[in-house]
Structure 1
C-alpha cells in the first residue's frame, strides 16, 4: 500500500503506517477514512484467477489516475467525470500486467497464457468491469456524504462511521452487501465482505471501537478458494461433516473441476450446520459466547454449529484471531497447497497435520477449488 501514490506520506521510512496520524485530515477526510475507502474497493476487486495480477492492476491504475489528478478516494465522482480516462487506464494497465504475469500464471495453473484475463467473468468488456467492480463501490462514500448533507450534518469519516455503527464486524460485513440503501449487492460476495473486515480490524488496525464486537473474533473467516482448499485437504472440514454431506450441500460438485476433477465450491459451506460435538457442553458454551458476544448474530443458545464459525470457537481464549488464521491459510495455499496435481507437499510446514498428505491422498489428487 505504501507504493500507492496517494498513500506514500501515510507511512514512515520503515514501511509502517503512521497510526498516530490516522485521524489527521487529508483534504476533507481523515486518513482513516481514505484508507477505508481504498480497502472497500480492494476487497471487491480482490478476486479472480491471479490475485497477484489483480493487486498489481489495482495499484497501477490508482497510481495512474492520481498522477492525472483523478483522486477517486478523495473525490469518488472523479472516476465517473473522467470515465474515458479511467477506462483507458484500466485497459492499458491490464495489458501491462498480462505481459508480466501471464506466463507465470499459466505455468502455475497448467493453463495457456493467452487465457489470462482479470476482468469480470473473464470477459473482454472493460466498461462492465469498471462500473460494476469500481464504480458501484465508489458510490457508497459519496452517497453517505450526500445523505449527511441532506440532514444538515457533516463528517470527515462518513464511511468509517457507517461501518462501525453496526453491532459487530460480522453484521457489518453482511450489511455492506445487503443494506437496502448502501449495500453493494452482487458486486461483493460473502468472502469479500469478510476480507474487508479482516483488513479493517486485523491488517490495518483501523477500528476505533474498543470492544469484542469489532475485535479479532468478531467476523467469520474469509472462505476463499485458498483457505477452503487447505481446510479440505488437511481434513479440517471432514471433522464436521462427511463427504456425502458436502456433496448434498453442493459444496463438492463431482466432475465439475479442472480436468474432470471434483470441484469444491467453498462459498456453499456458509450456513451449513454440524451436530457433531453438539453434546459437548463446553463446546456449545463457547459457540454461544461467540455468537452472542462477538459475532452478535444470535440472541439465544444454538443447538447446532455453523461450520464457517467453528474457527472462531477454536481460537477463543488464545492469542490469535481470525486474521491470523487467514494469513496462515493464505500462506499455505499460495506457496505450497497449489490447485493442481503437483502441490509442494514435501516442503509444506503443516504436512504432518494434513490428512491428505499422511493418509488420504485422494483429497489432494481428486479435488480442485
Structure 2
C-alpha cells in the first residue's frame, strides 16, 4: 500500500519497530514483592497472575506498583529514578512495611519511608550522577531525582507516594472483599484512553496533578502493552487504545526529525493556547519544547491525508480510544501516528505495532542518541536517514531544548 511507504509512514513505523525491540518499562526482576511473579528472562509468569498474594492477586499487586511508578517516573534520569524506586521498595518490604499490599502501612511508618527516600537518593546519586552529567553536559552536583528541583522529602513522600497509595486504600475500602479493587475500578471505563483521563480527573478517585497527562498515559501503556494486565479483550483495551505519553524524549525526537512540523508551523506551536514552543525559555536561552501541551492541537498546515488514513483515524477515535461515537470533526496531532499504525496492523496482523511501541522507540532514541544538547549522536542514530534536523536543518537540533 503506497500510504505505508511514504516518508511519514516510514518514520513512524521505523520508530515503532525500534521500540518493539527496545521496550521501556520498570524492570521487576530485582524487586522483592515480585520474586514469585517474574521469570529469569524478565517476563511475567502469566499462568499465575491471578493467584492470591495475601489478600490480593498478583495481577493486582503489579497494577498497584505500576500506578505508583507512573506517578514517580518523572525527572531527569529515568534509569536512576527506577533504581531509586526499586531500592526504596525493597528496603521497606524487608522491614515488613508491605505498602503495596497494605497502603496504610506507608503512612503508619512515614518516618522510615522518608529516611529511606533520602538515604537511597544519595546511593543512586553516587552511582548515576557522573554518567548522567556526561550525557547531558552538565554538573553532576545538579543531580536531583525529586520533582521540580525541590529536595523536601516530606512533601515528595506525601504527594508523590502518598496520593496513589491513598487511592488504593480508598478503593480497598469502597470495594470490600475484592481481591482486585484497583483493576476492578480501572476496567469500569470504556477504554484505556478514558481510564487515563479519569485516573487524573475523576471527582472522587482522580490523582490530579500528582500524575498528570504524561503519567496517566504511561500507566495506560504499561497496563495494556508492556505487561498485559488488563482482563478486558475489546479493541478499546488493546495496543492502540491510549495516546502516546509524550515525555521530553518524545518531544525532542519528534521535533528534530521534523515530524511535528509536518502538521503545523513553528508559529502555530508558539501561539497555541498552551504553548508547545516557548521561545528563549530553554537551557542556555534556547527555545523550549513542552510537547505535553500538544494534546488537542489540530494541524494548521493544509493536509491532503490519504483517504485510508482519514478512515483509520476515525476508527481509532471511535473504536479504540472511544473518545467519539462518530467521525470527529477535527484531527488532533497527537493521534495521527495511530492511524498509520492501525493500517500497518491490518496489513501485518502477525506483527502488530502499538502506541506503546512508538513511545518506546522515541524513548530509546532520545536516551541513547538524541541527547538534549546541540551535539547528539546523530551519525549513529537508527533514524538519521529520516531526520530533517540531521539531513537539512541543523537548527532543529542546536536551537531547541526539552
**Aligned residue among 198, 206, 221 for 1:175:** 198
Q: Residue in 1 aligned with 2:5? A: none
Farther-moved stretch of structure 1 (311-320 vs 278-287)? 278-287
Aligned to 2:215: 192
In structure 2, distance between residues paired with 1:106 and 1:75: 38
**Structure 2 residue corresponding to 1:274, chosen from 272, 279, 299:** 299
Offset of residue 109 of structure 1? 1.4
2:372 aligns with 339
User: Is the 2:88–2:117 Cα contact (8 Å) retained in structure 1?
Assistant: yes
String of CA shifts for 1:231-259, please: whole Å, max 9, x gaps. 11101111111111111121111111111
Q: Identify which of 342, 361, 381 aligns with 1:328.
A: 361
CA distance, structure 1, for counterparts of residue 396 and residue 295 of structure 2: 21
Q: Structure 1: where are the runs of 5+ without partners?
A: none
Aligned twin of 1:362: 395
**Matched position secondary structure for 2:288:** strand
Match of 1:165 in 2: 188
- The answer as to whether partners of 1:332 and 1:348 remain within 8 angstroms in 2 is yes
Partner of 2:309: 283
CA shift for structure 1 position 280: 4.7
Higher relative contact order (CA 8 A, sep 6+): 2
Matched, 1:264 2:297: no
Q: CA deviation at 1:346?
A: 0.6
Q: How do 1:209-228 residues align onto structure 2 when only pairs under 5 Å count?
A: 209-228=232-251
Number of residues paired by the alignment? Answer: 365
Q: CA offset at residue 278 of structure 1?
A: 6.2
Are 2:62 and 1:35 equivalent residues in the alignment? yes
Match among 74, 79, 83 for residue 110 of structure 2? 83
State the SS of the aligned residue for 2:35.
helix
**d(CA) in 2 for partners of 1:314, 1:15:** 30
- Shift of residue 93 of structure 1? 0.4
Which of 253, 273, 279 is matched with 1:230 structurally? 253
**Residues in 2 aligned to 1:355 and 1:46: alpha-carbon distance in whole angstroms:** 30
Aligned to 1:72: 99
Shift of 1:98: 1.0
How far residue 25 of structure 1 moved from its aligned partner, in angstroms, is 0.5
8 Å CA contact 1:278–1:305 kept in 2: the answer is no
How far did residue 303 of structure 1 move? 2.7
1:298, distance to aligned residue in structure 2 (A): 1.3
CA contact (8 A) 2:258 2:389 kept: yes
Aligned to 2:35: 8
Deviation, structure 1 residue 119: 1.0
1:294 maps to which of 291, 313, 320: 320
The answer to whether the 8 A contact 1:167-1:296 is kept is yes
Structure 2 gaps, min length 5: 1-27, 346-351
- 84, 104, 123: which one aligns with 1:96: 123
Offset at residue 187 of structure 1 (A): 0.3
Once the two structures are superposed, what CA deviation does each residue of 1:49-75 show, in whole Å capped at 9, x if it has no partner? Answer: 111111111000000000000001001
- 8 Å Cα contact 2:29-2:39 kept in structure 1: no
Whole-Å Cα distance in 2 between the matches of residues 213 and 237 of structure 1? 26
TM-score, normalised by the number of residues in structure 1: 0.97
Contact 2:29 2:40 in 1 (8 A): no
Structure 2 contact 114–154 (Cα < 8 Å) conserved: yes
Instruction: Tell me the distance in 1 between the aligned counterparts of 2:250 and 2:356.
Output: 12
Distance in 2 separating the partners of 1:104 and 1:280: 45
* Contact 1:278/1:303 (8 A) holds in 2: no
